[in-house]
Amino acid sequence: MSRAAGRKSAARETAVRAASLRAELAQHDFRYYVLDDPQVPDAEYDRLMAKLRALEAADPTLIAPDSPTQRVAGAVGAGFASVAHGVAMLSLDNAFTDEDVAAFDRRVRERLETESDVDYCAEPKLDGLAVSVRFEAGLLTLAATRGDGTTGEDISANLRTIRSIPLRLARQASGKGRGQSPPPAVLEVRGEVYLPFAGFQKLNAAAAANGERLFVNPRNAAAGSLRQLDARITARRPLEAFFYGVGAWSGTPEPDSQVALLAQLQAWGLRTNPEARVVKGAAECLAFYRELSAKRAALPYQIDGVVYKVNQRSAQLALGQVSRAPRWAIAHKFPADEALTVMREVDFQVGRTGVLTPVARLEPVLVGGASVSNATLHNMDEIERKDVRCGDTVIVRRAGDVIPEVVGVVLERRPRGARPVRLPAQCPVCGAPVQRLAGEAAARCTAGFNCAAQLRESLLHFAARRALDIEGLGDKLVDQLVERALVKSPADLYALSLEQLMSLPRMGEKSAANVLAALQASKDTTLARLLFALGIHDVGETTAAALAAHFGSLGALLEADSAQFLVVPDVGPVIAASLQAFFASEANRAQLERLRQAGLHWPEGPARERTSGALDGLSIVLTGTLTGMSRGQATSALQALGARVSSAVSKKTDYVVAGADAGSKLARAEELGVTVLDTDGLAQLLRGGRPATQSKS
């Protein structure tokens, strides 16, 4: 083949790749904007767009009028009237690295012909649905989605249901005695409609209760909520909005800076994000980015990055725009917390209680700034619900330090021969039968301590800081003790000798002596710590403390039945059954006796006597920071009066005592109409009184 023919062949192949990318991106736009059913995460879309831009940059003749690089992504969906925006709603170019931000800042300074640091307004990048809202003479007259940037969908009826968006703008006081100054005759404001995390969880909980499809994320839920043909459905969704810019503006002068614009919008009653502030130069932009990244998990709404805008409006006009994006702004995206990869296999890990947890083995992929090659699939019910198969292209999510999980499958990419996941009949560690009880999602190995995996996890739990607190007994040492069969139960730990420990790799005399000293120190413990350390199914630290306080002695626990367990705070039928089964087991009783003979000592006494039964039968939940006492002190005082102090709010809860910074429990109480008390109400309870409805929400 001649050199010219080779060049023509390569050009044809490049053109085919560009056309294929255009078609794939158009399909993703349709699913995202029209069907509200995205099939790939944003990071995958950005990757495809970047590939297309690179091809077009290398060969501009490939740029087609319908290329998604030449317009704002989106399309007008059926069922809504079309709306032409007075001023186009532009997209933003993306920055993914510090170098990208530095390059953006350099371009800005070069075009403005300045060597000084530029002032930027840095704002969170909301992850919701972009909207344009038109006010005429202060009255809301029209609302539209972004659509393709020039034409959107009329969602006026739906947007009017969002209570945080005013139907009439407030008149701002001039501040100099000139009375009230009205908004412009025509004002198009741009913002983002979103669903707060609390509202998203509530929405999905209701959908699950009704057997309906769950929303994938808050952004998807917000888009689906705003594009309901029946505005009454939208009205039932707890949507919110922040505003950050303007389009058409006529009648009064515009503010001279981005921060002044935000202040003006806020004064007219349009919510702006409180995190926004002015920063100077690229260095302060990056500092803001890192600060907001650290704060991200604590925010009540979803963000996916930071937007930097040149602060001075005159500079924005001087910089201008390209066909689809302004030159004076850029979005600095956080590392993607979702990505696509291929699931090769599924292994099953065995935990402390014998539960088999399916773990996806993935082709490594960067998610949330870290390489991920394993992700949890939770249980077989989740695998069956999501229809995950070996060989599938899957969506992997990672948020902060949370264990990565497989959240969905891209069915369009399923290969022939993709293999369904099967629950093993035998434990993958010890070969014992696996049991899955009817009505339970969990499947369990039946071997107990005879399974090395269960023994290992049980020993680590027994030695944990909040249990027996055996310093030095970590993963590596426990692995060696189990592999060499030196320890077959927690009681065996106290029979270890210096010689046995010194025989282990990398274990010298001093290290071995330290472990023995830690074991000796752990013998002086409490009944609550012991109960938690035993690893009884469903018995956590709080429940263990409640059991110890109620029964007072191990002997009383050994003799108790289900009915007696049920009167203990936080103990319901499931935990009562676990307790009865544990203490009825001869093997467990023998283990407790061996621990006693090994020298473990825990103070014992009679069951706690109540000072009175003034609060008998009351179910109380504490939340937030209390004034004048800790929640532990309040719990003990309430229990002494006969109240049951629970950790969860339900319809059976009589009172929720809410201190400062109360969270989801307060919201749940308000949702269920449970009486909420403040610290004065708590004081009345502790005096033996029963407050009337103090605040029934």
Express each pLDDT in 195-235 by its tens digit.
998 888 888 888 777 777 777 678 878 888 887 777 788 88
What confidence score (pLDDT) does residue 174 get?
41
Instruction: At 141, list the tokens.
Output: 């007259």
pLDDT recorded at residue 598:
93
Is the predicted pLDDT of residue 81 greater than 90, yes or no? no
> Which ranges of 296-406 does DSSP label H, i.e. alpha helix?
313-319, 380-386
Kindly state the tokens that stand for 345.
């296999």
Q: Which amino acid is at 240?
A: E
Residue 5 has pLDDT above 60, yes or no: yes
Judge contact between 646 and 680, C-beta under 8 A: no
**What is the longest distance spanned by two Cα atoms in the chain?**
101
Residue that wins the pLDDT comparison between 138 and 285: 285
Burial of 395 (0-12, 13-18, 19+ CB in 10 A): buried
Helix/strand/coil for 555: helix
Rg of the chain, C-alpha, whole Å: 31
Q: Which helix (H) or strand (E) holds 150?
A: none
Amino acid at 558: L
Q: How many CB atoms lie within 10 A of CB 96?
A: 17
Rounded to whole angstroms, the Cα distance separating 639 from 620 reads 10
Quickly state the pLDDT bin for 135 (edges 50, 70, 90): very high
Arithmetic mean of pLDDT, 349-354? 90
Q: How many CB atoms lie within 10 A of CB 501?
A: 22
Tell me the pLDDT band of 106, cut-offs 50, 70 and 90.
very high
Write the CB contacts of 387 (distance below 8 Å, at least 6 apart in sequence).
409, 411
SS3 133: strand
Instruction: Please state, in angstroms and rounded to a whole number, the distance separating the CA atoms of residues 546 and 645.
Output: 10
pLDDT of residue 40: 80
Tokens of 605: 């006494």
Contact predicate 643/613, CB 8 Å: no
DSSP E strands in 569-646: the ranges are: 619-623, 644-646
- For residue 32, the model assigns a pLDDT of 66
The encoded tokens of residue 151 equal 């034409």
Query: Which of 254-258, 368-372, 448-452 shows the lowest per-residue confidence on average (mean pLDDT)?
Result: 368-372
Strands 619-623 and 644-646: parallel
Q: What does the alpha-carbon distance between residue 546 and residue 536 come to, in Å, rounded to a whole number? A: 14
What structural domains does the chain harbor? Answer: 3-70 (1.10.287.610), 94-333 (3.30.470.30), 338-435 (2.40.50.140), 447-522 (1.10.150.20), 527-597 (1.10.150.20), 619-686 (3.40.50.10190)
* Most trustworthy range by pLDDT among 141-150, 187-196, 532-541, 629-638: 187-196
Q: Tell me, what's the pLDDT at 225?
A: 83
Catalytically annotated residues: 125
Q: What angle do CA 506, 509, 512 make, to 5 degrees?
A: 75
pLDDT of the residue at 33:
53
Q: What local confidence, expressed as pLDDT, does residue 490 receive? A: 94
pLDDT surpassing 50 at residue 173: no
Q: Taking the CA of residue 258 as centre, how many other CA atoms within 13 Å lie in the half-sphere pointing to its CB?
A: 24
Count of other CB atoms within 10 angstroms of residue 181: 12
Phi/psi at 114 (5° precision): -135, 145
Residue 176 pLDDT class (50, 70, 90 cuts): very low
Tokens of 597: 């003979």
**More confidently predicted of 280 and 238:** 280
Q: d(Cα 40, Cα 216) in Å, to the nearest integer? A: 11
400 confidence band (pLDDT: 50, 70, 90)? low
More confidently predicted of 92 and 37: 92
Which two tokens mark 572? Answer: 């319901």
The per-residue pLDDT for range 560-598, each reduced to its tens digit, is 988 888 888 668 888 888 899 889 888 889 999 999 999
pLDDT band at 323 (very low <50, low <70, confident <90, very high): low
Q: Between 661 and 284, whose confidence is greater?
A: 284
Is 244 in contact with 192 (CB distance < 8 Å)?
Answer: yes
The pTM assigned to this predicted structure is: 0.57
Q: At what angle do helices 3-29 and 42-58 cross, to 10 degrees?
A: 150
Q: At what angle do helices 573-584 and 586-597 cross, to 10 degrees?
A: 70
The arithmetic mean of pLDDT across residues 148-167, rounded, is: 87
Cα 61 to its chain centre, rounded Å, is 44
DSSP conformation letters of 232-262? HHHHTS--EEEEEEEEEEESSPPPSBHHHHH
